[in-house]
Chains A and B, each alone.
Chain A
Amino acid sequence: MPDLVLSEFAGVSLPDWIDALIRIVFVVALMTVNALALIYLERKVLARFHQRVGPTRTGPFGMLQSAADAVKLLTKEDVRPASADRWVFELAPYFAFVPIFLVFIPIPWTETWVVRDLELGFLFVFGVLGLNLVGVVMAGWGSDNKYALLGAVRAAAQAISYELPMLLVSVAVVMVVSARLLVDNGSTLGAVDLNVIALEQTTTPFIILQPLGFAIFMIGMLAELHRPPFDMPIAESEVVGGYFVEYSGIRWSFFFLAEYTALLLLVMIASVVFLGGWNFPFGEDVGLGLQLVLTLAKAGALIFILFWSRAMLPRLRIDQLMSFSWKVLLPFSILQVLANAIILTYDGDEWIVGVTSLALLVLLSALVYVRAKMLARGAERSIHKQPARPRLITAQDVTSGD
């Protein structure tokens, strides 16, 4: 989009590709700063939840801790297992990390600050995020380590299982947007365009119209990022690092960077699609300053929620988390798509969509709560059950009973 901020700064109109290149460089720089900042913030926030202080010694308030971590990682020895498949091992970090950077292309930070406002933005996000898994599986295989392979397969299985409900609730949101676009414009063009989705939320953010969608998207986000409570594949006490156990130094930092970049990425997508992104209270009217503040505030709130859930929640076992996705989240997301389809085809009002979604969310929470209570009671009963006392049966007791 040549008629925007960059051309104004430069004073001349730039050709398309130089404009795109400058935006990409901005995004890459932003991602690096973001990773450093999030590492430090996560440690501080987690520390406060654990009633301790976090890093305080390196720099004022420990702010140079990230830089210290980066220096340590860069100067570590680059170890590679001798029997590891060399090409696969060395290319895996790039496969894990490049798709996540690519997905920053359609994300709108404000109304005009997008790298490229892709018409198929939302579809692009999910299509390219899937390529991340190839890197994970390559890392597990290339390490020539059974536990790494196990961790990689689990990580990939977890990611694809939780991607499905996320996709379906995204489809539900796109259905609402395209119903509106059909009424306004006569065609559903732009329904998957992230900027258009943000624009449609001037009065009501989609978290009000699709609360179940937001809940499932947040849960799916935690699982895609391999964050607690879904971090079984990379948990230190379980698979000792999982698919990146054999990586050290710079290669490991690629995976780490990929994780924090994906965190910001998915948080930005959730805030654009469900919380109204740069638009929600009065973004479109007031202009650039308020839009930037809104984007950062929403992203910050969601990031804090993710750190909070890490501090609070225990880890789910791999079979528990797989069955939760396939047996609970997937049916509910299918129900949500069905409900949206029925209501929107018969031209129902939008508040019906919101109420149905809220009802489904209440049903989901009730189901999870009841099931948890049942399991807890069952466990209690088996703890308090008396062990069988040995009884003395004589031959006379047996034969006299006939």
Chain B
Amino acid sequence: MSATEVVFYIISFVMVAGGLGVVLSRNIVHSALALIMSLGAVAGIYVILTVEFLALAQLVVYGGAVIMLMLFALMLTRARERPQALFGKNRPVALAVAGGLLTAFVAGILGTEWAQSNRDEIEPVPFEEIGDVLFSVWAVPFEVVSVVLVIAMAGAILLSQPDEGER
């Protein structure tokens, strides 16, 4: 077992543990923190796949922004005081469905012919090529995404304004 495989198993363990923590935790703030753990492990997987740029982008976007947003939202509203109804009567059905989905996904992943599955080494994509292509070939989707972000921000600001007459 090579060092890369050992590292991969450790990171996958952290990722799965984080995922289970998100779903099974009683306290919603603990779920958010387990989500950070899980997403950080995804960044580790990107490093193993030699796309370090994506790993850093994952850390910046998820660790820095999305999780901060979730934490602010959870902490500044009264999320803690409501009881969490986690386990209802349909637990066996839910378990069966989840198990079925898991087998379907794993079968699908193991059965597909991936593009690089015949090679022993991965060819790393040079990071400056991503930049070149992003701003030349894919410039229009890039601009559209930035416009969508501006719309989302403006919408959020508008939604958080107090209504007329309300102080």
Question: Which residues of chain A have a CB within 8 Å of any CB of chain B?
Answer: 17, 85, 87-88, 91, 118-120, 123-124, 126-128, 130-131, 133-134, 137-138, 140-141, 149, 153, 156, 160, 187-189, 191
Contact = CB atoms under 8 A, between A and B. Distances in A.
A137 B75 contact: yes
Q: Interface SS of chain A: helix, strand, loop or mixed?
A: helix
B29 A85 contact: yes
A191 B132 CA distance: 14
B53 interface: yes
A331 B75 CA distance: 31
A128 B60 CA distance: 7
A119 B127 contact: yes
Interface of B: 3, 27, 29-30, 33, 36, 52-53, 56-57, 59-60, 63-65, 67-68, 71-72, 75-76, 126-128, 131
9 contacts: A119-B52, A123-B53, A133-B68, A134-B67, A153-B72, A153-B75, A188-B128, A189-B127, A191-B128
Given A119-B52, A188-B131, 4 more contacts: A87-B30, A131-B64, A133-B68, A191-B128
A124 B64 contact: no
B64 A130 contact: yes
A137 B68 contact: yes
Contact of B59 (A130, A133, A141): A130
A156 B33 CA distance: 16
A189 B59 contact: no
Contacts of B128: 187-189, 191
Contacts of A118: 52
Contacts of A91: 33
Contact of B60 (A127, A134, A140): A127
A160 B72 CA distance: 13
Given A123-B56, A137-B75, A131 B33 contact: no
A134 B36 contact: yes
Contacts of B68: 133-134, 137, 156, 160
Contacts of B53: 120, 123
